[in-house]
A and B are shown apart, each in its own frame.
Chain A
Amino acid sequence: MEERIGEWRSYVRRRQAIDGMDVDELEDHLRTQVAELKEAGLDEEEAFLIAVKRIGDLDSLSREYAQEYSERLWKRLVVAPEAGEGGVGWRKEALVALGLAVAAGAAVKVPELFGLRLDDDAANSFYFRNFSQFALPFLAVLFAWKRGLEPARRLWLAAPFIIGALMMNLLPFTSGGDTETLAALHLPMALWLAVGVAYAGGLWRDHQTRMNYVRFSGEWLIYYALIALGGGVLIGITVFIFGAIGLDVELLLTSWVMPCGAMGAVIIAGWLVEAKQSVIENMAPVLTMLFTPLFTLMLLAFLGTMVWTGSGINVEREVLIGFDLLLVVVVGLLLYAISARDPQAEPGLFDGLHCPGNLRAPGGRPGPLGHPGADLRVRVHPQQGRRIGREPHLGGEPGLVGRALCEVPP
């Protein structure tokens, strides 16, 4: 019963005109009705069905609400508490997020105390290797706090961050070498998975939570890009207006505002995704829908050109690192598209478009593709990543009907 009501709730919540409090009100109505019908001798299922029916057709209902609350249809980007559940702790959460963002911003300046200046070329390599270490731990802390992670689990959660920090700073990397590049690029991905454990509140074995995390990642990326865009405009204008009165603020901006802002924005974006989910919720799938075909087209064009000109891929490490990143993008798009699709929907053209994206890992075997879309079971083999000519590949296998499973071996 609770499950049905939960489903119904989330269904109603999708209507933009009806907000959290209204859903609460309608839910109370539904429950009272169900209780009454049950007393009259109906069984739970019948009672639920009748009660839902009596509440009325949601389309016309949300039209009525929309007439009353036309402003709700304009998505409000202002930070306001999402009414309803969790509304009470909202202010506290905002403060914690802000505090952690400031801490992340400050963390990036800490190495300067030890003489590693950001604008110093010698320290470049240090910052490059460690850039993900400044913000992601704080993001993990935010979620560990928010989800009330058990103390024992928190300790475990700290492990990847500590190991990452030790490896990045104790191993003898050649400055500017490929190994360093690879390590610096993959550390954030590994740590992102660790953040995922915190996000899931330790329940990362549950595939539903994992899919939520994939969704979160996509929405986080969009928020981050938006913040970066806004920040860029702000910085540009600052330089311009201070330049007009003959003051050069560039040093201040590049050594303080930009690095600290970039780190702080990681936390703020993470917090915003949760706090104002509905804002991006509808945008993210649209963006994926827009870029998946473009990526597919680009990859197909690339494959076609490769076959046409007969030139194999230049097997050099730099190139392979580039492909490695390309794969990350493709995996990200694919996983996100799967997580964002309506599980009930029939596989359509759009799902079909993912297939070429699947097939094309250079040097890797084309995966035996199962049913596209709904029946896709994706396995990522990160251990194959570093071997030259053996990029990680995606192989779909037929999975259970109607379930989009995502399995990433830890």
Chain B
Amino acid sequence: MNIGKDLVAASATPLVLSILSDGESYGYAIIKRVDELSGGELQWTDGMLYPVLHRLERNGYVKASWGRSESGRRRKYYRLTYEGSEELASQRQQWQVVSSALRSTPFHECQLAPQGIRPLNVGRSLSDGGTNR
């Protein structure tokens, strides 16, 4: 399964916030955790997490501080703020609405046989009364 780019981008904020609600963490560990939680289905480009984190920091949802890793390197840790946990709660609700809405719609297999890609002739299809579609 390949999760679309837009969905990955949209889900980044609630995912990061909920991971941080477990406690302070840093970029690499967050990515590992996302990987674990999604069973490897949610693939992020590692670097892209950081602008997201910085945006969350600017919005006041997380607080960043420089610390040290086990090996003594400088490492930036992120912590959820009160605003962040509020945001997380609201995002969770939103996602639940979307997901329950999706689940409650009936899902039918498509009846049409898959078609090869061919150039769409909009003008003709209109004059044909849309039979081409």
CB distance from A365 to the nearest CB of B (A): 54
Instruction: Choose one: A28, A29, A54, A68; the contact of B54 (CB below 8 Å).
Output: A68
**Which of B16-24, B43-51, B91-99, B108-116 is near enough to bind chain A?**
B43-51
Are the CB atoms of B46 and A55 closer together than 8 Å? yes
In the complex, what residues of B have CB within 8 A of residue A24's CB?
Answer: 74, 76
Query: Do B75 and A28 have beta carbons less than 8 Å apart?
Result: yes
Set A26, A28, A31, A69: member contacting B47, Cβ < 8 A: A26
Are B51 and A67 closer than 8 Å at their CB atoms? yes
Q: Does B69 contact A (CB under 8 A)?
A: yes
State the Cβ distance, B73 to closest chain A Cβ, in Å: 6
Q: A50–B28 Cα gap in the complex (Å)?
A: 14
Would you call A33 an interface residue if the criterion is a C-beta within 8 Å of the partner chain's C-beta atoms?
yes
A28 & B48 in contact (Cβ 8 Å cutoff)? no
A56 touching B45 in the complex, CB below 8 Å, given contacts A25-B27, A25-B50: yes
Q: Does B51 lie within 8 Å of A28, measured CB to CB? A: no
Given known contacts A28-B28, A32-B28, A55-B45, A65 and B69 CB-to-CB distance under 8 angstroms: no
Contact A68 B55, beta carbon cutoff 8 Å: yes
* Interchain CA distance A69-B47 in the complex, whole Å: 15
Residues of B within 8 A of A69 (CB): 54
Q: Tell me if B58 counts as interface (CB < 8 A to partner A).
A: yes
State the CA gap A236–B14 with chains docked (Å): 58
Contact with B along A10-39 (1 / 0, CB 8 A): 000000000001101110110111010000
Q: Is A64 an interface residue (CB 8 A)?
A: yes
Are the CB atoms of A61 and B47 closer together than 8 Å?
yes
Residues of B within 8 A of A57 (CB): 45
User: Closest approach, in angstroms, between the C-beta of A112 and any C-beta of chain B?
Assistant: 51
User: Do A55 and B51 touch across chains, with their CB atoms under 8 A apart?
Assistant: no
Give the residues in chain A near B71, CB-CB below 8 Å: 35
Specify the main secondary structure of chain A where it touches its partner: helix
- The dominant DSSP class at the B interface is helix
Contacts of B46 in A (CB 8 A): 29, 33, 54-56
Quote the shortest CB–CB distance from A82 to chain B (angstroms).
16
In the bound complex, CA of A28 to CA of B77 (Å): 11
Q: How far is the CA of A176 from the CA of B69 in the complex (A)?
A: 66
Partner of A32, one of B51, B58, B69: B69
Determine how close the nearest CB of chain A comes to the CB of B52; give it in whole angstroms. Answer: 8
Minimum CB–CB distance for B66 against chain A, Å: 8
A28 contacts across to B, CB distance below 8 A? 26-28, 69, 73-76
In angstroms, Cα B65 to Cα A25, docked, is: 11
Number of B residues, CB within 8 Å of A: 18
Q: Of all chain B residues, which has the CB nearest A55?
A: B47
CA distance A31 to B73 in the complex (A): 9
Q: How large is the interface on A (under 10, 10 to 19, 20 to 34, 35 or more residues)?
A: 20 to 34
CB distance from B55 to the nearest CB of A (A): 5
Residues of chain B within 8 A of A25, CB atoms compared: 27, 50, 75-76
B51 and A29 contact, CB distance less than 8 A: no
Assembly CA distance A31 to B69 (angstroms):
11
Give CA–CA (A229, B50) in the complex, Å: 41
- Chain A residues with Cβ below 8 Å from B28 are 28-29, 32-33
CB-nearest residue of chain A to B32: A36
Residues of B contacting A54 with CB < 8 Å? 45-46
Closest CB in chain A relative to B28 CB, distance in Å: 4
Whether the Cβ atoms of A56 and B47 lie closer than 8 Å is yes
Interface centre among A24, A32, A55, A56 (most CB of B within 10 A): A32
User: Which among B46, B47, B55 has the highest number of chain A CB atoms within 10 Å?
Assistant: B47
- Shortest CB-to-CB span from A164 to chain B, Å, is 44
CB distance A64 to B27 under 8 Å? no
Contacts of A56 in B (CB 8 A): 45-48
The 0/1 profile, CB within 8 Å of B marked 1, for residues 59-93 of chain A is: 01100110111000000000000000000000000
- Which of A31, A33, A58, A68 contacts B51 (CB under 8 A)? A68
Residue in B closest to A67 when the chains form the complex, CB atoms: B51
Closest A residue to B57 by CB, please name it.
A68
B23 to chain A, nearest CB (A): 18
| B76 and A61 within 8 A (CB) | no
CB <8 Å contact, B58 and A68? yes
A242 to chain B, nearest CB (A): 46
Q: A61-B47, A68-B55 are in contact. List 15 more A-B contacts (CB 8 A).
A: A24-B76, A28-B73, A28-B75, A29-B27, A29-B28, A29-B47, A54-B46, A56-B46, A56-B47, A57-B45, A61-B51, A65-B50, A67-B51, A68-B51, A68-B58
Instruction: Give 20 A-B contacts (CB < 8 Å), ordered by A residue.
Output: A22-B50, A22-B54, A25-B75, A28-B69, A28-B73, A28-B76, A29-B27, A29-B46, A32-B69, A54-B46, A55-B46, A55-B47, A56-B45, A56-B46, A56-B48, A58-B47, A60-B48, A67-B51, A68-B51, A68-B54
Listed from nearest, the 10 A-B pairs whose CB atoms lie closest are: A56-B45, A64-B51, A56-B47, A55-B47, A61-B47, A32-B28, A54-B46, A68-B51, A25-B76, A55-B46
